[in-house]
Structure 1
Amino acid sequence: MSPEEGEWERAERIIEWIRTDAWRLDVLRQARALRLPDWWLAAGFVRNLVWDRLHGYSPSTPLNDIDLVYFDTSHASECIDRAHEDELRRVAPLPWSVKNQARMHGRHGHRPYASIEEALSVWVECETAVAVTLGDDDRIRLKALFGTASLLSGQVTHNPRHGDSEVFRHRVIAKGWQRRWPRLEIRGF
């Protein structure tokens, strides 16, 4: 990462990596077909691609799940999310994980989230709170709540807004990120 490179340039680099990844572009199109409100593919969908690129890995590391997040206060039921997963799996048998962020505050004991941004802002790692969406014009947009600098520097940082550093420690160990991407720098232990 160049020191003079700004946030816009870093975001555009990630968008270009996604644009040239035929599999990820296809997955974005499948997610878009659901027409969910304020939907995004998040977490490992973007993060792992960046880490793979930083490590020179090709092909990309397989994903444990594909996190499709959206925000809809009028239909905040886990049953609806399961129905969306089933619909997606009929089209593509992939490890879809669909979660309406309008209901996820209960899992963490937070007050209800007002937006997708507020929900993402409390995810455990700063580098996981990154997401992309695909417009009807096929334009990819990136949302990185904490910017892209630490992600593109290969850092894994505890998000202080999440609060529980033990959850961070457990995730880092359980996910084995440093075994797969040994040059990652874990921050916040």
Structure 2
Amino acid sequence: MITGRRDPYRLAGADDAAQRAFLFAAVEADAKAVAVLEAARALALPDAWLVAGAIYQNVWNALTGRPPGHGIKDYDIAYFDAADLSYEAEDAVIARCAPAFAGLGAEVEVKNQARVHLWYEARFGAPYAPLSNATESLQRYAADAHRVAVRLGEAGGLDLAAPRGLDAIFRMEIRPARPEADTREFRDKARRQAAIWPELHLSAYCA
């Protein structure tokens, strides 16, 4: 669907540099995303990245002429600390982070990717091999458009992790990346997102 705004698919198939520049500008335009990134760095969380929705949804907002932060439910920080895989250790990190995020007016979820394999199967019914770093988790996400992460770089600006590239985001396409990702939860999420961004292309069975 082409809206009355500029063609929302105008950067689909564009070169990587153009897509990266647009993505960085879209994230940096969201004051809450920037505040979350700055707080994560100040807290010195190991291997910490802002992942998924706050990134690709801000790109969709910029592509479709919607304001930064529109439709974004929460901001997810993935970090990696294998030194202590206990629930208590992760809970202590979450408690330490809470004051830094309290004044943002946004929900921020903080998860240690080093311990996801300990609870994933019980919750989702499928095994989950241990990860070796935070961004390796992107390979397990359900759709290529979800597989993106940013963090503040050491020299300023943003670092990007996108193991499957960015084109699915700029095509505004949500499709399961593998058969086992085609779950009811995935379809329900796709439908919720299409209600907010009707320009999305969904798999036929999600529509």
Q: 1:119: which partner in 2? A: 137
Contact map agreement 1:85 1:96 (CA 8 A) in 2:
no
Q: TM-score, normalised by structure 2?
A: 0.79
Q: 1:96: which partner in 2? A: 108
Q: Does residue 1:85 correspond to 2:94, yes or no?
A: yes
Q: What's the offset of the Cα at 1:188?
A: 6.8
Q: 2:160: which partner in 1? A: 142
Q: What's the offset of the Cα at 1:43?
A: 1.2
Which residue identity is paired with 1:182?
Answer: P
Q: 1:25: which partner in 2? A: 34
Contact map agreement 2:78 2:113 (CA 8 A) in 1:
yes
Q: 1:75: which partner in 2? A: 84
Give the number of the structure whose alpha-carbon radius of gyration is greater: 2
Q: Does residue 1:64 correspond to 2:73, yes or no?
A: yes
In structure 1, C-alpha distance between the alignment counterparts of 2:79 and 2:110, rounded to whole Å:
8
Q: What's the offset of the Cα at 1:59?
A: 4.4
Q: What's the offset of the Cα at 1:62?
A: 4.8
Q: What's the offset of the Cα at 1:24?
A: 2.0
Per-residue deviation, residues 137-173 of structure 1 (Å, max 9, x unmatched): 332111112111110111112121x723124224324
In structure 1, C-alpha distance between the alignment counterparts of 2:109 and 2:177, rounded to whole Å:
22
Q: TM-score, normalised by structure 1?
A: 0.86
In structure 2, C-alpha distance between the alignment counterparts of 1:4 and 1:182, rounded to whole Å:
20
Q: 1:181: which partner in 2? A: 197
- Quick check: 32-41 or 135-144, which moved more? 135-144
Q: Against the structure 1 CA distance between its residues 20 and 164, is the aligned structure 2 distance closer, same or farther, given a 3 Å change threshold? A: closer
Over the aligned positions, Cα root-mean-square deviation in angstroms equals 2.2
Q: Against the structure 1 CA distance between its residues 11 and 57, is the aligned structure 2 distance closer, same or farther, given a 3 Å change threshold? A: same
Q: Against the structure 1 CA distance between its residues 178 and 2, is the aligned structure 2 distance closer, same or farther, given a 3 Å change threshold? A: closer
Local SS of the residue matching 2:115: coil
Which residue identity is paired with 1:9?
Answer: A
Q: Which runs of 5+ in 2 are unaligned?
A: 1-9, 122-126
Matches within 5 A, 1:17-56: 17-56=26-65
Q: 1:163: which partner in 2? A: 180
The one of 5, 10, 14 equivalent to 2:23 is 14
Q: How many residues align?
A: 186
Which residue identity is paired with 2:47?
Answer: D
Local SS of the residue matching 2:195: helix
Contact map agreement 1:81 1:99 (CA 8 A) in 2:
yes
Q: What's the offset of the Cα at 1:179?
A: 0.6
Q: Percent identity?
A: 27
Q: 2:3: which partner in 1? A: none
Which residue identity is paired with 1:63?
Answer: I
